[in-house]
Amino acid sequence: MLIALKLLGSIALLIYGMKVMSEALQKMAGPQLRHLLGAMTTNRFTGVATGALVTVAVQSSAATTVMTVSFVNAALLTLAQAISVIMGANIGTTLSAWIMSAGFSFNITNVVWITFLVGIVLIQTGKHRYFGDFLFGLSFLLFALGLLRATGLEMDLASNQAVVDFFASFDSGNYLTILLFLLIGTVLTFAVQSSAALMAITMVLCSTGVITIYQGIALVMGENIGTTLTANIAALSANTQARRAALAHLLFNVFGVLWILCMFYPFVRMVCNVVGMDPAAESQTPAQLTFALATFHTAFNVTNTLILIWFIPQIEKLVCHLIKPKKSDEDEEARLKFIRGGLMKTPEISILQAQKEIAVFGERMQRMIGMVADLKDSKDDTAFQKLFERIAKYEDISDNMEDEIGRYLGAVGDAHLSDDSKGKIRSMLREIGELESIGDGCFNLARILKRKRENEAVFTADQEAGFSQLLDLVDQAATLMNNALSGRREDYKFAYSEAAEKAINECRNELKQKNIQDLDNHNYDYQSSTVYMDLINECEKTGDYIINVVEARMGVARNV
């Protein structure tokens, strides 16, 4: 029982170490990774290189794949680009197997203590804290590998006749045995949600002589399929293109397993020859066995990529044929486009996804301003009522968007983030609050126009022109706001929005002064004046909300 607990504890430490290490790497390279995926996927070859590089950086193919599915969901990557990135992720993840095989080849715990020490010092001093987090996670990873190696030796399963007889009952020369172990590897990887953990267990079993190299490699093949299920689950609530990207990952690995099965024994013998090992020999060293597993893992993914990279257009057509667009009667405008549940595997990267959703939020609020302009000019009662109801519906949509994006950002913020990313989340929360206020302002304008219509208040030509002029200025400010939300902060000049805000305030002041003069001259009655000034003041308030969004986006504060 104690040995079994040691084994489970070692695996738990291994998973925790990889998690800490991956999160630390994302903190150090989060913004660069966000730009990397978009900039380095111009063709299938750079896409593969990008996927491999990002996976090596974050030490998780599942993280890269889910990140890629998220980017497809957010329309940042095309489906063809995503498929190439996923192929690269399969190559990048093989580094983990090599690290583990090194850990099983010698007592790696001898180098752990200095890594722990340096990592803790960096974390406590605050200097290079993220690098300290990385070393801390790496230390746990290496320590777990050392414990697994020691536990494997302590278990001495090769001397346990019952265990030996059980696994010996499966003939490694029989394809049914290979298929059974492949299925076991798939199910266990899906259950544990970590191919690295299953790879470690496989190395323990192989290095202690419990299972043959053929059975171990069959487990590794199953791990390749099981790890794809993570992205497919994440994509269930995503859009059609994201689900297609996840399915392409599954098809990629399934195809690789199928062709490997057709030439399984010759391919395994070839891999074993590379590491100088005879798979038919009765005894092999633990180092040979673990390196053979790592070599197979690399050879499998590299060869599979070299074969399928030429068929990316055909894979894209196949997944498009298998997954049809959803037919739904629900109003798409009421739904979030880029944030769907289950896609928050890499918090640092998810921030860009949230920013894309906020940009859509801004566009919808500007659309509301246009609806108010149409409502102002509407003459027919039926058309007026329909447009008013649509504005009311958009106001509900703005409330829902603020709530859903806010909850999403809150969940992202609960993860371990860099200080830069935490600051971005705070800014985004302010952005969505001010955007929702723009929706409230537009709905207030619609209600004032409705009151004007119900009370049969009549505006003069000057009043109509003044309100139209101010509403146009608000719309122009909203256009600048959306430029800031959809582009890079570095490419936008805050002075543009400041000038737009100044123009709104000056126009408001001029119209307010003119209203006093017109009222004194009895150009219109007091009721008309009251409605008119309510519209002018609400427009100016909406302009304030707009520049507040830009302030939050740019990270600046005005002297009010």
- What is the mean pLDDT, run by run of 10 residues, along the chain of 560 residues? 74 74 66 57 73 66 64 68 83 77 66 80 78 80 72 62 67 82 85 72 78 86 81 68 82 90 88 81 75 88 90 89 65 56 56 84 93 90 91 89 87 74 88 94 94 89 92 95 87 91 94 91 88 94 94 74
Q: Does 383 lie in the same domain as 303?
A: no
Q: Please say whether the dihedral angle defined by the alpha carbons of residues 493, 498, 499 and 504, taken in this order, is positive or negative.
A: positive
Number of domains in the chain: 2
Range of the domain at 424: 334-554
Q: Which CATH number covers residue 509?
A: 1.20.58.220
The SS3 of residue 127 is coil
Q: Does 54 lie in the same domain as 10?
A: yes
Q: What is the DSSP letter of 158?
A: G
Question: Cα 235–239–241 angle (5° rounding)?
Answer: 90
Q: In angstroms, what is the C-alpha Rg of the chain?
A: 31
Tell me which residue of 518, 527, 528 sits closest to 459, measured CA to CA. 528
Task: Give the number of residues written for the chain.
Answer: 560
Q: How far apart are CA 312 and CA 309, in angstroms?
A: 6
pLDDT of residue 434: 94
Tell me which residue of 222, 367, 364 sits closest to 297, measured CA to CA. 222
Q: Does 201 lie in the same domain as 108?
A: yes
Using an 8 Å Cβ cutoff, are 32 and 57 in contact? no
- The whole-model pTM stands at 0.59
Answer whether residue 329 is part of any domain: no
Q: Does 245 lie in the same domain as 304?
A: yes
Answer whether residue 328 is part of any domain: no
Q: Does 393 lie in the same domain as 312?
A: no
Q: Does 287 lie in the same domain as 417?
A: no
Answer whether residue 327 is part of any domain: no
Using an 8 Å Cβ cutoff, are 88 and 257 in contact? no
Residue 95, Cβ density class (10 Å: 0-12 exposed, 13-18 middle, ≥19 buried): middle
pLDDT of residue 238: 63
Q: How far apart are CA 372 and CA 443, in angstroms?
A: 8
Answer whether residue 545 is part of any domain: yes
Q: Measured between alpha carbons, how far apart are the two ends of the chain, in Å?
A: 69
Inter-CA distances, 51 with 21, 41, 47, 227, Å:
18, 9, 6, 16
pLDDT of residue 227: 77
The SS3 of residue 78 is coil
Q: How far apart are CA 39 and CA 118, in angstroms?
A: 35
Half-sphere exposure of 5 (CA within 13 A, CB side): 2
Neighbouring residues of 285: CB distance < 8 A, sequence distance ≥ 6: none
